[in-house]
Amino acid sequence: MGKIGLRLDRILTRLHQWWRGLPWPAALMTTLRRLRAFLLFTGALSAITASVFSHNGFFAAVYDLPHRMPGWAPVGHAFAAATPVVWGLLTLAIVGLFTYEVQRRRDIFAPVTAIAVVVLGSMDLSTMRPPTFSDFGSDRLLVSLVIAGFVAWLFDRNWARGVRPRTCLALGVTVFAITIGATRHYWQLAVVSSGVITSVANLPGPHVFLFLLPVVNTLLIWCGLPGVLPTLNSFSSSGWSTENLDYALSHAHGSNLPHLLTLMTTYAPFANMGGAGMTLALLCAVVIARRKVPSAAFLPSLVNLPLPALLTLPALLDPVLLIPAIIAPLVVQLLAAGALALHLFAANVFEVPPTTPGPLIALLGTNGDWRAGIFAVVMLAVATLIFLPFVRIALKEGAVS
């Protein structure tokens, strides 16, 4: 390693030490490690529900499970109903333990207050509809953590002095629930407005959105927020992708497409393996560096669900591991764009299930072009090499387990 590499290693190590020294990251890491078994179970349940018991799931489609598996429909309904419940309970468990860990007073009423605020704050005040588990599930993690940290800070400031704890709890829940419920409508509008952003996702040519949207999507997912990019099926149903598919069907090949460089041809098949930030490459780097990783953590990433792996490692909100999560997809996209421009393989034009495992997306989406499949495997290796030095720093600092 040269002088530049050593200096960069020291800078990143200091950044990681500073990050881990902050109260919130340390408390979050402790919380996620204590819930490791729950996290693995939740991730496995989500992966099975999305890939086996969903009509557009990869294994359901490949093996025709709706017609071949006895009881597929009722079992699928049970899995589909259980998944948001488990995610909601996991979020509440994270909120409670995180509040307890981050506060200095260790007041048991603080986590109870935080959980109550998250639940009641998820209620739609305009219709007075009671909250469901999906209202405070996986895409509300960051908001829930902010609420938990604020509640812990309030209790540490002794705002309950001279007031009976249960009275303080009731007042706090009421005030926070009203505030969060009032802003919930605007939060939903912000999420819906992201659909306007995704409408630009499939514009042709090497424009800025081709590379900017994956970066924004990774940042949001890494922070426990809803992403802005649609699923693979949504990519394939866009106008540009439809034109590409029509051209490929009429000419019996995927070369010389009218819109060669889109997210459907560069990002979806090559830079989204494991989900946002190429989480599958992150897990491969952990295996190489640590020689061991829970097999259950691989299952969600194999079907492109990144959040369970980010929570299990844990890598959520980690600034050092976020760097390669942004760099790796960009490098892969650039290499894929160059390979497509050189016509090294057919472009991805066919719709595949969103839970199709990593390199198989390129293979199936190009109607079996083995060159695209090999290129996808090579891109996974390239992304793994990008992750590797950052993962080693995280392992050295004990941030990844």
In this predicted structure, what is the pLDDT of residue 358?
Answer: 86
Say whether both 43 and 135 belong to one domain. yes
Burial of residue 263 (CB within 10 Å: 0-12, 13-18, 19+) is buried
* Euclidean distance between CA atoms 163 and 173, whole angstroms: 15
- pLDDT of residue 180 exceeding 90, the answer is no
Each residue's pLDDT tens digit, 342-375:
888 888 888 888 889 988 999 988 888 899 999 9
Say whether both 172 and 206 belong to one domain. no
Dihedrals phi, psi of 124, to nearest 5 degrees = -80, 110
State the pLDDT confidence band at 191, using cuts at 50, 70 and 90: very low
Say whether both 134 and 235 belong to one domain. no
Say whether both 165 and 243 belong to one domain. no
The predicted model gives 114-133 an average pLDDT of 72
The tokens of 321 are what?
A: 């591991």
Say whether both 350 and 227 belong to one domain. yes
Say whether both 322 and 257 belong to one domain. yes
Task: Tell me what the pLDDT averaged over the chain comes to.
Answer: 79
Residue 100, domain member (yes or no): yes
Q: Which among 194, 219, 241 is the end of a domain?
A: 194
Each residue's pLDDT tens digit, 231-267:
655 665 566 667 766 767 776 665 677 777 888 888 8
Say whether both 386 and 254 belong to one domain. yes
The predicted model gives 373-382 an average pLDDT of 94
In this predicted structure, what is the pLDDT of residue 182?
Answer: 53
* Euclidean distance between CA atoms 266 and 222, whole angstroms: 21
Give me the domain span that covers residue 132. 26-194
Angle between the N-to-C axes of helices 141-156 and 165-198, in degrees from 0 to 180, rounded to the nearest 10: 150
Q: Which among 154, 178, 194 is the end of a domain?
A: 194
In this predicted structure, what is the pLDDT of residue 325?
Answer: 93
In this predicted structure, what is the pLDDT of residue 320?
Answer: 87
State the pLDDT confidence band at 192, using cuts at 50, 70 and 90: very low
Residue 327, domain member (yes or no): yes
Residue 13, domain member (yes or no): no
Residue 61, domain member (yes or no): yes
State the pLDDT confidence band at 158, using cuts at 50, 70 and 90: low
Say whether both 173 and 30 belong to one domain. yes
- pLDDT of residue 48 exceeding 90, the answer is yes
Q: Could you tell me if 89 and 132 are in contact, meaning their C-beta atoms sit under 8 angstroms apart? A: no
The predicted model gives 159-178 an average pLDDT of 58
- pLDDT of residue 145 exceeding 60, the answer is yes
**Assessment of whether the complete model's pTM goes beyond 0.95:** no
Count structural domains, the chain: 2
Best mean pLDDT range from 131-140, 306-315, 373-382? 373-382
The tokens of 315 are what?
A: 């890598």
The predicted model gives 102-123 an average pLDDT of 79
Say whether both 231 and 275 belong to one domain. yes
Residue 1, domain member (yes or no): no
Residue 4, domain member (yes or no): no
Q: Which among 175, 194, 213 is the end of a domain?
A: 194
In this predicted structure, what is the pLDDT of residue 117?
Answer: 80
Dihedrals phi, psi of 318, to nearest 5 degrees = -75, 115
Q: Could you tell me if 122 and 131 are in contact, meaning their C-beta atoms sit under 8 angstroms apart? A: yes
Say whether both 247 and 143 belong to one domain. no
